[in-house]
Amino acid sequence: MTTSLFSLQGRVALVTGGAQGLGLAIAAGMADAGAHVIVAARSAQRVDAAVAMLRDRGGSAEALVLDITDEAAGARAFERIDAAHARLDILVNNAGARNRQTMAHLGAADLREMLETNLVAPYALCRQAAARMGRGGYGRIVNVSSIAGQVARAGDVLYPATKGGLDALTRAMAADLGRDGVTVNAIAPGYFATEPNQPMVADESVADWLRQRTALGRWGQPDEVAGAAVFLASPAASYITGHVLAVDGGYLAHF
């Protein structure tokens, strides 16, 4: 009973930005739970390597080279998923962009560009996914947001705005899609030791700060986000929608 609650056996999942970092950890978690995982990213080399890794550990996976900001390419990708699987049960919107700078260095064009990646593209993919999920009366959408959607710091002005928008979009889509049997939730990761964060991970002053600022006192490891994604995609979360789940070592709760 407990195992079946968290099983994704027989489900088809699409994970964007799934070739590295948190996306790869989520893809691995879903494959381990029994899902067939479509790993999407812009780099064919990285996607192929990720799929090979998932298969080596016994998972079912396939590659999809996709730039999420290309709406036409996204539509074609869903057509290919239809042709190959005739279904899509789970969408994880993980791919995103960040530009850590102050307002003095970022114009409106920079905001528009980041909105395209962090908000417009996820919305377009959700529309494609929801149309297919609605036909079967079942679906799980998991958006990867950030604690930056709820708190901010100097020198990173645009990213919090886009992630705050993604949090609000998650709630709005949950309200819109619930009657179709589709749940929409988000994960808000805190500080994780991923590839893009390696310069900060190597900085002992950042580690000291995290020891004081988070309840668990350390960096998160990428595989520690997988459980939250599997949970929200599983039968165990069947009555949860419109929720933003912080996976942050207690950052938001720690005064």
Residues known to be catalytic: 159
- Rounded CA-CA distance 6/158 in Å is 36
* Sheet-wide strand order for 36-41: 60-65, 36-41, 12-16, 90-93, 139-144, 182-189, 244-247
- Dig out the tokens for 92 from the structure: 């994880």
Tally of CB atoms within 10 A around 78: 18
CB 167 within 8 A of CB 144: no
- Please tell me what DSSP assigns to residue 145: -
